[in-house]
Structure formats: structure tokens, C-alpha cells
Chain A
Amino acid sequence: MTDTFLGMPAFPQAAAEAVRDGQLRANLRHATHTIRDKRARAVAELSDWAELRAAGKAIKDHTLRHLDRYLVQLEESVTAAGGTVHWAADAEEANRIVAGLVRATGETEVVKVKSMATQEIGLNEALAAEGITAYETDLAELIVQLGDDRPSHILVPAIHRNRAEIREIFAERMAAWGRPAPEGLTDTPAELAEAARLHLREKFLRAQVAISGANFMVAETGTLVVVESEGNGWMCLTLPRALISVVGIEKVVPTWRDLEVFLQLLPRSSTAERMNPYTSLWTGTTEGDGPSEFHLVLLDNGRTAALADQVGRQALRCIRCSACLNVCPVYERAGGHAYGSVYPGPIGAILTPQLRGTASPVDASLPYASSLCGACYEVCPVAIDIPEVLVHLRERVAEQGGHPAERAAIAAAGYVLDHPALLTAAERLAGRTRALHPRRLPGPGRAWTDTRDLPEVPAEPFRDWWRKNRP
């Protein structure tokens, strides 16, 4: 994944810092609760939501089980339609392919449709190193790019910013990237949108190369699909001469008919819309209509490794709707940056350690960035059992032996708990010495007693009451 996140502190430290930022917490709370409530209403409108969800899960599971077959079919269909397919094993290879393709056009500027795959591989930074400037055209991505910031949400990358902050970014930074912000710009949404529109229009009309991701790829027809809300994607996909799409291999679906399910699940789960405003579909190239050159870069970057894990592979069902972020109480307080990855929130906590491995402190901390409350599983439109995968990945982290003190404590507790007589003795001892118990603890327990009192140990455990009263 992108270098931008390397060297970040592990989740608990990053989250603790974020929790102290009152403005950030207020921005996140307001935004997540608004989307969450709207989503619940949009989903409640459909009487067959549970069936749709089951169908989405089934299609994805089937496709993942036969991924090799469908990818080969996709390659044949795309090629037959006049496109060129490239296979990239990792981020470096994908970046090298894309940079080469852009260089071959002779251009040094590209416009971009918002895409998680290109964020994941750090494409913009890689292109910049080759002297190619990538312009983000999604409003929130534009805010992030101008602000020299990192995205903090899958769908709403600038969710951590409020209107006043956005006005400031536009007024200060737009000029350096192209058309400056209008004089006297205020923070009303309409004025901010108009400023972005004027700034971006210049880019759309000039660019000869566009880079996108895709929400879905249809194996039988070779069709790619992007759903979006602003129309910027549609501009990028139709105006330029060359189009390069970088897409994770798990985004393939077998048939055109399958879109029927996902085009209902995705907008309602993500933006709480019955239908997303713009759905662009393209199949290879067509003379006189849209780009005359089309390249599809199929990205692995850890996905086949995730596919090999029987429990973890369900994360590859994800359609990036971000409903899990919006209901997650941990995300709501920690924000997206704390996850140290382009995929934040519950899905990031299970996807990132699978794509990157669990060796680094950040990646090893991610499976623990959840209270396992289960709200994410409840809203997931493709029924990814995120708590199950979190616990499964915790096992992987525990096995690599990260926390010796914890392992020792678990072993000691395990011994006592498998010997009821020892447990009774320990409980009685605790009861007898309760006057001596400290109010605040040293070591790892301090984190508890910093904000909470420990419970008072009762004079006698329940098992002693039972023995006396129910002989």
C-alpha cells in the first residue's frame, strides 16, 4: 500500500490522539450519524433487502470460488472489445504499468476518477515521481489533494473536514493547482461546489488521459462499471483520448444480470440513495464515442493471499459501500487516519492486515481496533462477518507472539479456570483481602483505572453462597 501511511503509530496511540481532538470528533459524529440514519431509512424501503443481501453474498462467494475462470473470461471479453488487459502482482508493478501507459501517450497530466485501488497502490505519488501530475476530480478527493491531506473514509474521504475548513483549503490552495477560488468565497455548500466545478472544468477539458477504478467488471461482456454521485467520473470516462482502469481482481462478477443485485445494494448502503446519480458502463473501445484507447490493469496486491484464507476471504466480497464505517462506534471516535491505511473502519481492520500482512505494529494492532459490537456485520450488504474475521486475525497476531505478558496471563488464567478448586481459592483470597485492593492499578491495568474505578470484590463468591444456602 501507499508509502504515505508508513511509520504511523499503531491504532491505539493514533486513536487516543484523535479522541482528544474535539472538532474532529464533532465532525465525525455529525457526518456518520447523518449517513447512518439516512441509510437505515433507504434500506427499510425495500421489502426484499434480506434476499438481496443473501444474493449479493452468494454471487460474490461463487465468483471468488471460481475467480481464475472468471478473470480469464474477463480478459477475453475485454480484449475482444478492443481493450488491453495487464496483470499486476503488486503495487509496484501496477504503478510501473500505468506510468508506462501514460508516458506512451506523451502526456504529463491525467484526470482521475475517485478510486480506492489507486489509493491503495499510491499511484498519484508514483506518477509524480515520473513527472506526471494526477488531478483528483471527486469533490472530496479534491479537498484532500489540495489540503495535502490523507483520505479518512472510503466514500467521503474528507469526512473529517467541516465547511469552514474546506473554504480555507480552497481559498489558499486552488491557485497553486489551477484555476484559483473565486474572490470572497464563503462556506455555503453551493459556493464551495461552484468553486470546485470551475476549477475542475478546466482539467476535464484539457486532459487527454483518465485513470479510474471500477466498482464492478462483468466477465461475460468485458464491461466495467463506475457508480458515482457528482458526474466527474462520467466526464473523465468519456472526454479523454485514453482511459486506464486499475481494478482489484475481486471486483469481477460473472454476468450482466448480476449487476441487478449490486446496483440496488450499493447505493442504498453507501449514500442512502435509491439509485446513484451517475452509472457509467464501458466495454472496450467504440469508434467516435469515448476514449479510443482502453487499458485494464488487474491488481492482485495481496488478494490471492487473502483468498487462500478460508475465514478471511469473505473480506473480498466487500463492495466498498462504507456502511460499516458509518455505524462503527470506534471509527466514529477515532476517525479514518488512525487506521494507518487507505481502508479504514471495520472493513479496513480486516482487509488491510490481509493485504499487507500482520508483521508491522500498525497492521498487528488493526484486528484489535474493534469492540466486536457487531454493528458492522448487521449493516454489511454482502454479509461479511467482520467480527468473525477480526477474531480470526487476532489469532494470527497472537500466534506470531506479539505480546508475551498477555500470553503468560492467558496461560495462567487457563490453568486456574480449568481447576475449579484453585478458582475458588483465588476468589476467597480476593474476598478476604478486599480492603487492601488498590483503587488504581500499575502497568497495563492503568489504562482501566485512568478513567474508571475497579469494582469492589464481594466478601464471598457466588459458589460459596450456593454451598451455604443450597446444600
Chain B
Amino acid sequence: MRVALFATCVNDALFPATAVATVRLLERLGVDVDFPPEQTCCGQPQYNTGYRRACEPLVRRTARAFAGYDHVVTPSGSCAAMVRDNYPRIGARAAAEGRGTELADAALALTPRVHELTEFLTDVLGVEDVGAYFPHAVTYHPSCHGLRVLGLGNRPLRLLHAVRGLELRELPGAEECCGFGGTFAVKNAAVSAAMAEDKIANALRTDARVLCGADNSCLLHLGGMLRRRGGALRPLHLAEILASTEEDPWRPA
């Protein structure tokens, strides 16, 4: 089984610890992981801001980078959703505009092989207990694209439940958007901040120490506000919790 890590540009540039944790976790589970260095960005920021044509080279690049792998795993529900939901659309539009079916073919060849990390663990590897140890109180924020576009359901919670030492605290209003939304956070900064404030107030109410998510873009937005406020709650990607073991426990950076 040839498995490629789709690290995503946000993790590559800003959250390398998440990508490292994903590699360590998958290797611990016996997966042979590769990182094709030609990968860059899935094109979601461009696409969602209205620049569809600007992501066509990135669709082509991503499809080419992961050609030949049985599975592509990404620690980002949002980027997985971009590939699965929008790549076929971008390909179909290019074909409809008379620019051939090459992009559509590339998109369709890639999409079924792309998995968000928790999907890969539960559905492809068939594991829920990944042998992790994390003795902290955790609350989980299910990001919108993982929740609604991918339909991750309770996969992340099942994985968290199986972590030894972890105390899971239910997040009130969990299914509400945190307000990031890519360029929405800049274009509609006031509403975005109001949404984040409410999300953080709910997270603080749980008295958890860690705000866990499976998308670092949401955590970047919430974490930026948490840091501004000070306090004990800190954001952490799910992969870093699952990578943590008794022998090699997670330590705050």
C-alpha cells in the first residue's frame, strides 16, 4: 500500500508539528508514508474567494503529485473537502468552457483516493485505538468542512475516546462555525471575530485544557484569539494528540 501525505500548505509553512505527528502516527501503525515534494496548496483560498481559474494549475499540480499512490492522507478536513467536492467541479467547468477534459480526468482520478486523517484511520486502516496516551482534559471542535462536506460524523470522537488518559469534555454549540472561513476572516472581520468569541466562550466553559480540532486553519483563528486573551486553554491538532504516547508524550512547544 503506497500512502502519500498531503501535508497542506498551512501545515507545511505554519504547523509542521502537525505534519510530523501525522507521519509518526501513521508509521507507528505500520504505514509506509511518502511525502511528494511537488505538492503545494490545494487552491481552496483562491477558489473560495472567486478565483476559479487561478486554481486550475494547482488542481493539475496536486493530481500529478499524488498520481501512483493508493491513498492520499491529509490532516485537514477542509483541504480534503476542497479536493473531493470542488476538484470535479473545476474540471467539469474547464471542460464545459471548451478547454478539454484533461483537468476533469485528473480530478476524477485523484478524488476517490483522498482521505482526511480520521477517515483513513477508521475506514481504511480500521483502527479506533491508535495506542495513544494523552492525560489531559480535551474538548473537540468539529470544523464545518469535515462535519458537513466530508460527513466525518463521530469518527474523530471515537478516536479521542480510545486515547488513554484523555478526558473528553463536550463542547456546547460544537457544530457552529468558528468564524474563520478563509478570507471571510479578513473581509468580514467583525462578524468573524464575534463568531470566534462565542466559540471560545463555549470552549472555556468546558474547563478543558486543550481545544482539539482536525483543521489547523480554524485553530489558527481560534488560537490567535486565545493567545490575545491569555489563559490555560490551548489549541492542538488531533494528529498531535493521537501521536502522543506514554514513551513519547506530547509536550507544549
Contacts and interface: CB of A to CB of B under 8 A. Distances in A.
Interface of A: 11-12, 15-16, 19-20, 25, 329-330, 333-334, 367-375, 377-378, 388, 391, 393-399, 406-407, 410-411, 413-414, 417-418, 420, 423, 427, 430, 444-445, 447-448, 450-455, 457-458, 460-463, 465-467, 470
Given A395-B52, A455-B224, A465-B20, A15 B191 contact: yes
Q: Which DSSP category, helix, strand, loop or mixed, fits chain B's interface?
A: helix
A453 B223 CA distance: 8
Given A11-B188, A395-B50, A470 B23 contact: yes
Interface of B: 7, 9, 11-17, 19-20, 23, 35, 37-41, 43, 45-52, 54-55, 57-58, 61, 89, 144-145, 147-149, 175-177, 179-196, 220-221, 223-225, 227-228
| Most chain A CB inside 10 Å of its own CB: which residue of B15, B55, B194, B224 | B194
A20 B50 CA distance: 29
B150 to A, nearest CB: 11
B126 to A, nearest CB: 25
A95 B233 CA distance: 58
Given A411-B54, A461-B13, A470-B35, A374 B186 contact: no
Nearest to B43: A417
20 contacts: A12-B187, A12-B188, A16-B191, A19-B191, A330-B195, A371-B180, A374-B144, A374-B147, A375-B148, A394-B50, A398-B50, A413-B41, A417-B9, A420-B38, A423-B40, A448-B224, A451-B193, A458-B16, A465-B16, A465-B19
B16 A448 contact: no
A462 B49 contact: no
Nearest to B225: A452
Contacts of B89: 388
B54 A414 contact: yes
Contacts of A391: 47-48, 50, 52
B145 A418 contact: no
Q: Chain A binding site: helix, strand, loop or mixed by DSSP?
A: helix
B54 A372 contact: no
A455 B222 CA distance: 11
A411 B55 CA distance: 10
B98 to A, nearest CB: 15
A447 B186 contact: yes
B228 A453 contact: yes
A34 to B, nearest CB: 14
A410 B12 contact: no
Given A371-B179, A420-B38, A447-B189, A453 B227 contact: yes
A460 to B, nearest CB: 7
Contacts of A466: 23, 35, 37
Closest 8 CB pairs of A and B: A371-B181, A452-B224, A394-B50, A447-B189, A398-B50, A16-B190, A373-B177, A462-B16
B185 A413 contact: no
A455 B220 contact: yes
A470 B37 CA distance: 12
Nearest to B144: A373
Contacts of A454: 224
B64 to A, nearest CB: 11
B16 to A, nearest CB: 4
